[in-house]
């Protein structure tokens, strides 16, 4: 086989076979196929269609290019959840203990954040003592005992994807639905889950700004997952404004605690119940979505969910007293109030700008090596559709810096307030399976 022939074949719109895709990805991972040939292939793939068989083959070739997490020692159907990324997305912190509390095993490998705010791992590290580095044995044992454990990324997972994603980034070939779908799904499948629930975001704060694109991406990922023998469904949810109120690491832990008690923001609660019900159903811990949802609601109402969160923290060495005494979480020195400059209705809250504001305070990483401040961030006081009066607090800023003028200005610009009543977008647009 020669790579040049495969490039020509794809350029002319023909489907590659599984063997050809394996040859290409193996060769590229081992550096036998150079970047310039892979660049040409990426561009051909960008312009030509890829069949579902090709997408599955590409995904599995990337999965097999490195280590795969083996969860076979864990009893039950392991369901993973993945979000395509948004601002203030606290769902993992809530879903992990919530679905575990009704018997679904959650073996979660999570990343640190780059950009807006930290990742789930960073957020958990705002709890004193919480350990995210566990041996595989300890991790499996915790999931068997507690039904839930979260570890940081380790091992050499999907090196082919890492290389190819980096190459696509500098060759204007990121924005291809089959390539994005294969890239994301390769990482999920290598993480070992039996079934996968995807939260695909759409709106101004999302990777997929348009609903149609989000639907296409969701369908592509679901087809790959199912094609690779992992039961997969996708929920398409709104990211036209940040999810919940809090954006920032310790602030989001507090928000997760509130939500697990049934006292959190409505949108965050609803999204968690929607995603959670799908996870419970895929794990075969309920016979219908309605039954799954009832179980989760009951777990929150009875306190089982919050107790599971405490047990989860304790089992990974963390100080679970923060759950009842959240004042023990890292605390910013200063709180500033951003006030509405006019009366009316909130029409828009540009999620990216709110994320950048939190990042400027120190909540997010600019580079992989940045040290983040777990205490800082912003908490929205008004969301889209709400009435505001001039002078009302719209956002609270939690900062360790004394001068936050620039951040205040950004937040003012992120909010638009209008005289007309605003109709709110739905939170859940579609379920794809
Ligand atoms: N995120 C990924 O992990 N891969 C892509 O290709 C795009 C976004
Ligand atoms: Ca939030």
pLDDT at 113 over 80: no
Catalytic positions are 82, 161, 168, 183, 187
Topology, domain 331-418? Aldehyde Oxidoreductase; domain 3 (3.90.1170)
C-alpha to C-alpha distance for 241 and 235, rounded to whole angstroms: 17
Q: How confident is residue 154, by pLDDT bands cut at 50, 70 and 90?
A: confident
Residue nearest to atom 5 of ligand 1 (CA): 180
Q: What is the pLDDT of residue 261?
A: 97
pLDDT at 93 over 90: yes
> Tokens 């190459």 map to which residue?
167
Ligand nearest to the CA of 83: 1
Domain with CATH 3.40.1030.10 in the chain: 79-323
Q: What is the pLDDT of residue 229?
A: 97
pLDDT tens digits along 228-246: 999 999 999 999 999 999 9
C-alpha to C-alpha distance for 384 and 414, rounded to whole angstroms: 12
Q: 114-118, 166-170, 236-240: which has the minimum mean pLDDT?
A: 114-118
Residue nearest to atom 2 of ligand 1 (CA): 184
With a Cβ cut-off of 6 Å, ligand 1 is lined by 165, 174, 179-180, 183-184
pLDDT tens digits along 197-229: 999 999 988 889 999 999 999 999 999 999 999
- 279: exposed, middle or buried (Cβ count in 10 Å: 0-12, 13-18, 19+): buried
Architecture of domain 3-48: Up-down Bundle (1.20)
CATH of domain 79-323: 3.40.1030.10
CA of 109 to the centre of ligand 2 (A): 20
Residue 353 neighbours by CB under 8 Å, 6+ apart:
410, 411, 413, 414
Using the atom order of ligand 1, give the atom closest to the CA of residue 165.
6
Using the atom order of ligand 1, give the atom closest to the CA of residue 184.
3
Domain with CATH 3.90.1170.30 in the chain: 331-418
pLDDT tens digits along 326-381: 999 999 999 999 999 999 999 999 998 999 999 999 998 888 888 899 999 999 99
Q: 29-43, 168-182, 233-247, 357-371: which has the minimum mean pLDDT?
A: 357-371
CA of 148 to the centre of ligand 1 (A): 26
C-alpha to C-alpha distance for 207 and 216, rounded to whole angstroms: 13
By residue count, the chain amounts to 433
Q: What is the pLDDT of residue 72?
A: 93
Using the atom order of ligand 1, give the atom closest to the CA of residue 187.
3
CA of 332 to the centre of ligand 1 (A): 33
β-strand partners of 106: 148
Q: What is the pLDDT of residue 111?
A: 78
Q: What is the pLDDT of residue 369?
A: 84
């Amino acid at each position: 086989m020669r790579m040049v022939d495969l490039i020509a074949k794809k350029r002319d719109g023909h489907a590659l076979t599984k063997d050809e895709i394996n040859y290409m990805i193996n060769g590229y991972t081992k550096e036998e196929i150079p970047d310039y040939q892979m660049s040409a292939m990426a561009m051909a793939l960008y312009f030509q269609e890829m069949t579902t068989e090709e997408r599955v083959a590409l995904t599995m070739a990337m999965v097999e290019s490195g280590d795969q997490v083996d969860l076979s020692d864990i009893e039950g159907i392991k369901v993973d959840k993945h979000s395509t990324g948004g601002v203030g997305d606290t769902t993992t912190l809530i879903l992990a203990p919530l679905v575990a509390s009704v018997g679904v095993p959650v073996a979660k490998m999570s990343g640190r954040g780059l950009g807006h705010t930290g990742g789930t791992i960073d957020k958990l590290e705002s709890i004193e003592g919480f350990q995210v580095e566990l041996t595989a044995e300890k991790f499996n044992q915790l999931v068997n005992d507690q039904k839930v454990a979260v570890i940081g990324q380790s091992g050499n997972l999907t090196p082919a994807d890492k290389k190819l994603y980096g190459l696509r980034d500098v060759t204007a070939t990121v924005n291809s639905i089959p390539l994005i779908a294969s890239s994301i799904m390769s990482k999920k499948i290598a993480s070992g889950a039996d079934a996968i629930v995807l939260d695909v975001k759409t709106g101004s704060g999302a990777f997929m700004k348009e609903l149609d694109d989000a639907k296409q991406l969701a369908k592509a990922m679901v087809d790959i997952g199912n094609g690779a023998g992992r039961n997969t469904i996708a929920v398409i949810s709104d990211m036209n404004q940040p999810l919940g109120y809090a954006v920032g690491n310790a602030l989001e832990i507090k928000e997760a605690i509130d939500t697990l008690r049934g006292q959190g923001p409505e949108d965050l609660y609803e999204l968690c119940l929607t995603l959670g019900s799908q996870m419970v159903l895929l794990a075969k811990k309920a016979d219908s979505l309605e039954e799954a949802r009832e179980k989760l609601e009951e777990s929150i109402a009875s306190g089982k969910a919050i107790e599971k969160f405490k047990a989860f923290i304790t089992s990974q060495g963390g100080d679970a007293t923060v759950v009842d005494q959240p004042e023990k979480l890292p605390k910013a020195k200063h709180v500033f109030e951003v006030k509405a400059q006019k009366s009316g209705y909130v029409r828009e809250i540009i999620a990216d700008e709110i994320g950048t504001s939190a990042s400027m305070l120190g909540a997010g990483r600019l580079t992989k090596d940045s040290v983040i401040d777990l205490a800082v961030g912003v908490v929205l006081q008004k969301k889209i559709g709400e009435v505001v009066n001039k002078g009302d607090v719209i956002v609270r800023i939690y900062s360790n810096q004394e001068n936050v003028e620039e951040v205040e200005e950004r937040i003012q610009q992120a909010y638009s307030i209008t005289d007309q009543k605003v109709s709110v977008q739905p939170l859940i647009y579609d379920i794809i399976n």
